[in-house]
Structure 1
Amino acid sequence: MNGLNLMEKILVIEGARIAFTIWDVGGDHSSYEIIPIACKDAVAILFMFDLNCRSSLNSVKYWYIQARKWNKSAIPILIGTKFDDFVQLPLDIQWTIVSQARTYAKAMKATLFFSSATHNINVNKIFKFIMAKLFNLPWTVQRNLTIGEPIIDF
């Protein structure tokens, strides 16, 4: 299906092998018709944006509204990607983006993670967070609101 990429992420937690099936829906409007299929039975919905492109954060509002039409119970997670590039931006720009992302996450009742797939920053923590929420497991990760570090806010 055009605009859809299926992936699998496997975690091993205390000897248990947990497989996540990820439906990655493209961020353009041509992917709109895939939203009902991708969201219908999801246990978590990851709303991802490029930390280096504020317009991608602004588009999260639209995708959130569309996804919630099809699934009101999935765990919402807001993820800022490409953190490794983001930390190279001037501090005032970082502060503006962090503030806006935290405001969006609060409005969405979502946990906020800043991540980098290239450097494996917070990637596994996101999936462990989903597991903790789904199975009511202890979550020991601390909030991190320090500018210049990968944000985790819940």
Structure 2
Amino acid sequence: MEAKVVFLGDAGVGKTCILSRLLRNQFDPQTLSTAGAQFVQKAMNYNGKQIKLNLWDTAGQEKYRSLATMYYRNANAVLIIFDLTRQQSFDNVVYWYKQLQQASISQNIIIVGNKADSVRKVRRADAELVAESLYCPYFECSAKTGDSIGSIFEKVCELVENCSSKTVKPMKLVQEQKQGCCQ
């Protein structure tokens, strides 16, 4: 099973660092902002099944926002990531959610508050309230320490598996053959 997973959020919230922690179990404080998008793959085992995650790390800078729709089209899951130490990045969670709705993506969206190891500006209760109002699961993590990174991607796999098991396979339509007068 394969799944397209897209990382969205403002610049500097730690999307690339979360990805680095997931892939290499490393944290680099000198990580540069992503320009455009970065694509990597990660194989995960979930419930005895192999799930290949096609991970799209998108740029959060204002100048790249118009390109983002191209990357989250046909996504099986989306992480909207914000920085717990920056209120503005949290305030923009609703912006990112609305962008997904405009692209007809309304399920398998996870809200993630990153930098849980730092002094927070966003209260957990406020973040949970927003996530609940958007009907999205909520996680807090630290790309720096690795806290909760595994839990987030376990949830991604759960959502992807549940969604794929509910997918109805299209029936093959039998085309009616026309018979001519000479047959």
Higher helix share: 1
Q: Tell me the residue number matched to 1:109.
A: 135
Q: Tell me the residue number matched to 2:166.
A: none
Any idea what SS the aligned residue of 1:110 has?
Answer: coil
Where do 1:61-100 residues align within 5 Å?
61-86=94-119, 89=120, 97-100=123-126
Aligned partners of 1:4 and 1:34 also within 8 Å: no
Aligned partners of 2:111 and 2:137 also within 8 Å: yes
Q: Give structure 1 regions of 4+ aligned residues with deviation exceeding 4 angstroms.
A: none
Deviation at 1:27, TM superposition (A): 1.9
Change (3 A) 1:84 1:71: same
Q: Tell me the residue number matched to 1:55.
A: 88
Amino acid at match of 2:125: S
Q: Tell me the residue number matched to 1:46.
A: 79
The answer to whether 1:29 aligns with 2:62 is: yes
- Bigger radius of gyration, 1 or 2? 2
Amino acid at match of 2:126: Q
Aligned partners of 1:3 and 1:30 also within 8 Å: no
Aligned partners of 2:38 and 2:56 also within 8 Å: yes
The alignment of Structure 1 onto Structure 2 pairs a total of residues equal to 130
Identical columns (%): 25
TM-score between both structures, scaled by the size of structure 1? 0.73
- Answer with 69-78 or 109-118: which moved more: 69-78
CA RMSD of aligned residues (A): 2.2
Tell me the alpha carbon deviations over residues 5-27 of structure 1, each in whole angstroms, 9 at most, x when there is no partner.
22323323355432211111222
Amino acid at match of 1:56: S
The answer to whether 1:11 aligns with 2:44 is: yes
Aligned partners of 2:46 and 2:158 also within 8 Å: no
Deviation at 1:28, TM superposition (A): 2.1
Tell me the alpha carbon deviations over residues 40-72 of structure 1, each in whole angstroms, 9 at most, x when there is no partner.
110111000011111110111111111221132
Where in structure 1 are there 5+ consecutive unaligned residues?
138-154
Any idea what SS the aligned residue of 1:10 has?
Answer: strand
Where in structure 2 are there 5+ consecutive unaligned residues?
1-33, 164-183
